[in-house]
Structure 1
Amino acid sequence: MFVRIVKMGFYEENIETFLANFDANKEKIRSFKGCKFLELYRDKNEPTIFFTYSYWETEENLENYRQSEIFKNVWAKTKPLFNIPPIAWSVDKLETLS
């Protein structure tokens, strides 16, 4: 299992559109085969910056999602809203403390 973190910056006037699109699709994303966890964060100091944080069973599962109609539809509506290029990281979780 690995973690996918995506940083996205939006024009202020596009934030509500992004949030509505995320809300409309979050269950589909979370239910996609191999996705085990999904969260959305907003930066405390830069309210136009958001992060998605998701757990995936395999890189193949993530790649299948990225080739899916769900992703293509979400991305087509999200991409024009950006004010900076998105940045994505795939990382291995080494430890969790609760």
Structure 2
Amino acid sequence: MGTSHLPAQHTGWLTQVRQAIPVILFQGGRYNIEQIAYETDDFVVYELQDSITLNGKTETFLAINQEAKLFTIDVLAGPSGFLAQEHGTAWMEWS
């Protein structure tokens, strides 16, 4: 359909929104987020667009908790072990 039917102020806003990409910032790297996979009051699990390697393992799903700590996850570990290993400080932002 396009945006030609909208006033200029609206098309400019839509262009900015389309260009905003959610990313995880971690150890100087920027990792594009594909989607939020799971969310609780304590943490959010993100699916990355591209996998990263942490401690020799390829990871696509990572969690960030309320204290801005990045975790790998273990979906088979149950609630107490779901956040498997902490990797340091990270946060999500719109880029």
Taking structure 1 as the reference length, what is the TM-score of the superposition? 0.22
Larger Rg: 2
> Which one scores higher on RCO, CA 8 angstroms, separation ≥ 6?
1
**Structure whose residues are more often strand by fraction:** 2
**Structure whose residues are more often helix by fraction:** 1
Taking structure 2 as the reference length, what is the TM-score of the superposition? 0.22
